């Protein structure tokens, strides 16, 4: 029997497609960590909040999908700003573990909020993506995965351009590089913290809408954030390219392991990779080499 | 003027606590109530079912009490929310067992049913059923005081496979299940059963819990080209996306599910994709007004809005428990776990008032009966696709 290369291509494309969503969520995680050094474990729940806000705007208020998407992003942005100002900023200077635990609590609060507002029933988002199958050459790619990947790629590209050229982006990078120096050249560092949370929450909410469109929404969809935690640890907590490469790599490995070994090996494969990377490069593939005492 | 110091407040609280603690057992004994305890998941991931189960049990208990109780004794339903966590379920059981001395108990998960079994046997004063249809629990030797108000998961597969073998002999079947205890439950035994019925299991696909995208799994299914695909271990996701992608790829399989993915409101969430989705259901649906079904009519009268299949499960469980109590008291016996279970097992050709469409018997720990239903997207309803199927 000859090896089916077309099938391999299809499996790989599916993996990279999912990887795009991982990368997008990982980006949200990295933005916050890079700017504020906060390990935000609530990223999965913020993603869930975005998906539910979208659901609320489309299903309950019957807005068209694009207006609902903008609304959901706005909700997430406001949530990011408020959370940063009221919850995270007062914690500045506390031990990283304390801040980390606050984000864990934040996640639980969001799950509770969603269950109160929408109950714990699993739901479907309205269909808003084209349903025509996408073929790359002869290889089939599920349309939602393809479009999800395109949106993720576009957002990441825009972000990377802004990061390098826009004043706010440069301020963010400066703050990430050296907080004291950023203060001394007149950068509004607390403002940068707010900005980082707003952008990250908006990005996570966008990812939530895409993830929800594919897998449906429920109050447990925050576990997607756990897969993303693997991505950012592999890629490097403070590295944007790390989030991209890590996301695609984990997506690809999950798909290949799932197809050729079986679904029960998906997590085994990704966590084996995690262990291997941590042993060779404890700060991730692209992360800054430093010792963090947690 | 009365001033409360911190100390006097503490004393007051202590006195109130003592009074409350002392009063509760006295009340239970004096009233002679029969207590149905419950570890019920009113919040958390299983809340969609827990809320329905709670309503079903509450309604049946009300019906019994409105009719004067059992042998003049009232049924009293005492429950605690567990958030579907085993430790919380065990804590609820211990608390209710100590304070209320229940003779009947509803548990919320397979893990809980297995964990609490030794304690249930040690107490020896109650029988238990619950939300689990785990094959493992369907063993009267290992779980002598437990039962389930329907077929176990292997029996559900058995019913589906028997339907398939009738519809299309020698059909190719694929199993898609979640990588959880719930998902794995009937897979190995059902593969053997399929072989006995002349069916061919061409693919078994495992999805990790919480996985979002199923593209690679659908590619596997395309390669296997089954005539029927049976999903198990899910409530909703990832079934809709699975069917959507499979149809886009031109896979011409029929799609089937088991109990927890068969509630009408869940299936209809799939929209157009639900068209033709089938599965096994041991109970009739809320809106089914065919023939004589006085209990369904009563439920519709008590609750004008659609009630889930989880509601039916809770309702029937309470009904069967009550019947066991009635038969035990009829025989002049003491309400012990052993007597209650023996009374339950005397149930033969029992009329459930239309909750199940045929008379049922409980020879062991399960009721191996079910019917195939199919989603009708025009009517937005699950409609019967077969007659009632009883496994021997």
pLDDT (0 to 100) of residue B134: 96
A236 in Cβ contact with A283 (< 8 Å): yes
Q: Which of A162, A180, A281 is nearest to A233 (CA)?
A: A281
Whole-angstrom CA distances from A201 to A18, A56, A97, A210, B265 are 20, 18, 21, 14, 32
Long-range contacts of B286-293 (CB under 8 A, 24+ apart): B286/B311, B286/B312, B287/B381, B291/B354, B291/B357, B292/B354, B293/B353, B293/B354, B293/B355
Q: What is the pLDDT of residue B209?
A: 78
What is each CA distance from B59 to A99, B96, B299, in whole angstroms? 47, 20, 8
Name the residue among A115, A218, A259 with its Cβ closest to that of B216.
A259
Q: How far is A70 from chain B (nearest CA, A)?
A: 23
User: Which residue of chain B has the CA closest to A144?
Assistant: B245
B235 touching chain A per CB within 8 A: yes
Topology alike, domains B32-151+292-361 and B153-281+371-390:
yes
Residues B6 and B47 sit within 8 Å (Cβ to Cβ) = no
Q: Is B249 on the interface with A (CB under 8 A)?
A: yes
Quickly list DSSP for B67-122. Answer: TT-BTTBPEEEEEEE-TT-HHHHHHHHHHHHHHH--SEEEE--HHHHHHHHHHHHH
Residue of B115, B151, B130, B133 lying closest to B53 (CA atoms): B130
d(CA B147, CA A271): 39
Q: Hey, are the CB atoms on B206 and A263 less than 8 Å from each other?
A: yes
Q: Which residues of A touch B270 (CB under 8 A)?
A: 124
The series of mean pLDDT values per 10 residues for chain B, 392 residues long, is 46 44 40 90 88 97 96 96 95 96 96 97 97 96 97 97 96 95 94 96 90 88 95 92 91 96 92 91 95 94 96 98 97 96 96 96 96 95 96 86
Phi and psi torsions of B72, nearest 5°: 75, -5
pLDDT of residue B26: 38
Instruction: Give contacts of A123 with chain B, Cβ < 8 Å.
Output: 236, 269
**How far apart are alpha carbons A89 and A235 in whole angstroms?**
27
Q: In terms of Cα–Cα distance, which of A199, A202, A203 is closest to A176?
A: A199
Q: Which tokens sit at A36?
A: 């504020």
Kindly report whether the global pTM for this prediction surpasses the value 0.80. Answer: yes
B245 close contact with A: CB closer than 8 A: yes
Say what the pLDDT of residue A294 is: 52
φ/ψ bin of B119: left (φ > 0), alpha (ψ from -120 to 50), beta (otherwise): alpha
Q: How far is B391 from chain A (nearest CA, A)?
A: 32
Q: Which A-chain residues 171-210 have CB contacts (< 8 A) with chain B? A: none
Torsion sign across C-alpha atoms A270, A271, A276, A277: positive
CA distances from B119 to B37, B114, B124, B130 (A): 15, 10, 8, 16
The answer to whether A104 and A41 have CB atoms below 8 angstroms apart is yes
Looking at 3.60.40.10, 3.40.50.2300, 3.40.50.300, 3.30.360.10, the CATH number of the domain B153-281+371-390 comes to: 3.40.50.2300
CB contact under 8 A, B208 and A264: yes
Q: How far is it, in rounded angstroms, from Cα B369 to Cα B259?
A: 12
A138 in reach of chain B (CB within 8 A): no
Cβ-based contacts of A48 with chain B (< 8 Å): none
CATH assignment, A11-280: 1.10.3470
Question: In terms of CA atoms, which chain A residue is nearest residue B212?
Answer: A215
Please name which of B344, B353, B316 lies closest in space to residue B56, comparing C-alpha atoms. Answer: B316
Bridge-partner residues for B390, per DSSP? B369
Any chain A CB within 8 A of the CB of B44?
yes
Domain-wise residue ranges, chain B: 32-151+292-361, 153-281+371-390
Q: Using CB atoms, which residue from A127, A215, A255 is nearest to B237?
A: A215
Cβ–Cβ under 8 Å, residues B157 and B232: yes
Which pLDDT tens digit goes with each residue over A214-255?
988 988 898 888 889 999 999 999 888 999 999 999 999 999
> Chain A neighbours among B 45-64 (CB < 8 Å)?
45-48, 51
Under the banding of pLDDT at 50, 70 and 90, the label for residue A1 is low
pLDDT of residue B21: 41
- Find the closest chain A residue to B206 by CA distance: A263
Q: Which of A156, A134, A131, A157 is nearest to A13 (CA)?
A: A134
How much is the mean pLDDT over chain A? 90
Mean pLDDT for A92-121 is: 90
Q: Is A263 in contact with B208 (Cβ distance < 8 A)?
A: yes
DSSP state, residue A121: -
Omega before B339 within 30 of 0, i.e. cis: no
Distance, in angstroms, between B178 CA and closest chain A CA? 9
In chain A, count of helices (H) and strands (E)?
11, 2
User: Where are chain A's structural domains?
Assistant: 11-280
Identify the pLDDT of residue A292.
54
- The token duo for B195 is 């072989």
Q: How far apart are CA A14 and CA A5, in angstroms?
A: 14
Size of interface A-B (CB pairs under 8 A): 113
The answer to whether the Cβ–Cβ distance between A215 and B241 falls below 8 Å is yes
B94 φ, ψ (degrees, to nearest 5): -60, -40
Q: How confident is the model at residue A60 (pLDDT cuts 50, 70, 90)?
A: confident
In B205-224, the residues whose Cβ lies within 8 Å of chain A are 205-213, 215-220, 223
- The reply to whether CATH 3.40.50.2300 applies to domain B32-151+292-361 is yes
Rounded Cα distance between A1 and B280, Å, is: 39
pLDDT bin (cut points 50, 70, 90) of residue A291 is low
Burial class (CB in 10 A: 0-12, 13-18, 19+), B294: exposed
Residues of chain B in contact with residue A17, where contact means CB-CB under 8 angstroms, are: 213, 215
Under the banding of pLDDT at 50, 70 and 90, the label for residue A196 is very high
The pLDDT, as a whole number, for residue A258 is 92
């Amino acid at each position: 029997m000859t090896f089916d290369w077309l099938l391999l291509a299809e499996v790989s494309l599916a993996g990279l497609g999912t990887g795009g969503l991982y990368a997008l969520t990982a980006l949200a995680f990295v933005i916050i960590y890079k700017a504020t050094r906060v390990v935000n474990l609530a990223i999965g729940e913020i993603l869930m909040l975005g998906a539910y806000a979208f659901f609320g705007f489309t299903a309950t208020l019957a807005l068209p999908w694009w207006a609902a998407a903008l609304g959901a992003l706005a909700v997430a942005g406001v949530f990011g700003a408020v959370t940063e100002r009221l919850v995270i900023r007062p914690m500045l200077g506390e031990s990283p573990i304390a801040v980390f635990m606050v984000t864990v609590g934040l996640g639980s609060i969001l799950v509770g909020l969603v269950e109160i507002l929408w109950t714990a029933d699993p739901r479907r988002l309205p269909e808003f993506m084209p349903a025509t199958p996408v073929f790359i050459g002869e290889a089939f790619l599920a349309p939602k995965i393809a479009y999800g990947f395109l949106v993720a790629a576009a957002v990441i590209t825009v972000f990377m351009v802004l990061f390098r050229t826009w004043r706010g982006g440069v301020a963010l990078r400066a703050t990430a590089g050296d907080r004291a120096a950023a203060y001394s050249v007149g950068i509004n560092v607390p403002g940068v913290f707010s900005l980082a949370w707003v952008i990250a929450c908006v990005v996570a909410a966008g990812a939530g809408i895409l993830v929800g469109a594919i897998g449906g929404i429920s109050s447990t969809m925050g576990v997607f954030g756990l897969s993303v935690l693997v991505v950012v640890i592999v890629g490097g907590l403070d590295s944007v390219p790390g989030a991209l490469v890590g996301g695609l790599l984990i997506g690809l490995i999950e798909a290949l392991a799932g197809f050729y070994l079986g679904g029960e090996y998906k997590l085994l494969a990704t966590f084996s990779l995690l262990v291997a990377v941590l042993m060779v490069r404890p700060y991730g593939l692209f992360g800054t080499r430093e010792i963090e005492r947690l | 003027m009365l001033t409360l110091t911190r100390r006097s407040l503490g004393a007051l609280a202590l006195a109130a606590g003592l009074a409350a603690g002392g009063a509760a057992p006295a009340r239970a004994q004096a009233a002679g109530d029969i207590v149905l305890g419950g570890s019920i998941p009113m919040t958390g991931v299983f809340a969609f079912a827990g809320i329905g189960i709670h309503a079903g049990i509450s309604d049946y208990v009300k019906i019994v009490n409105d009719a004067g109780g059992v042998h003049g004794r009232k049924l009293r339903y005492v429950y605690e929310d567990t958030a579907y966590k085993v430790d919380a379920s065990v804590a609820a059981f211990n608390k209710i067992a100590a304070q209320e001395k229940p003779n009947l108990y509803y548990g919320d998960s397979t893990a809980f049913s297995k964990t609490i079994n030794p304690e249930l046997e040690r107490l020896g004063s109650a029988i238990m059923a619950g939300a689990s249809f785990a094959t493992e629990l369907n063993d009267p030797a290992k779980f002598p005081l437990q039962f389930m108000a329907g077929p176990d998961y292997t029996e559900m597969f058995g019913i589906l496979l028997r339907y398939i073998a009738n519809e299309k002999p020698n059909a190719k079947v694929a199993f898609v299940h979640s990588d959880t205890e719930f998902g794995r439950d009937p897979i190995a035994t059902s593969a053997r059963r399929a072989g006995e019925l002349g069916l061919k299991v061409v693919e078994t696909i495992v999805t990790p819990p919480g996985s979002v995208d199923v593209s690679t799994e659908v590619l596997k299914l395309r390669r296997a080209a089954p005539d029927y695909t049976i999903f198990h271990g899910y409530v909703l996701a990832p079934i809709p996306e699975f069917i959507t992608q499979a149809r886009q790829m031109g896979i011409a399989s029929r799609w089937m599910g088991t109990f927890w993915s068969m509630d009408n409101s869940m299936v209809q969430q799939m929209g157009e994709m639900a068209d033709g989705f089938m599965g096994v259901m041991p109970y009739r649906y809320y809106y089914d007004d065919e023939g004589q079904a006085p209990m369904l009519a009563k439920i519709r009268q008590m609750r004008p809005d659609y009630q889930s299949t989880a509601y039916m499960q809770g309702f029937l469980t309470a009904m069967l428990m009550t019947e066991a109590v009635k038969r035990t008291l009829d025989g002049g016996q003491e309400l012990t776990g052993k007597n209650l279970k023996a009374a339950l097992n005397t149930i033969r050709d029992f009329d459930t008032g239309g909750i199940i469409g045929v008379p049922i018997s409980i020879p062991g720990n399960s009721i191996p009966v079910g019917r195939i239903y199919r989603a009708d997207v025009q009517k937005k309803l699950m409609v019967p696709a077969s007659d009632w199927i009883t496994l021997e």
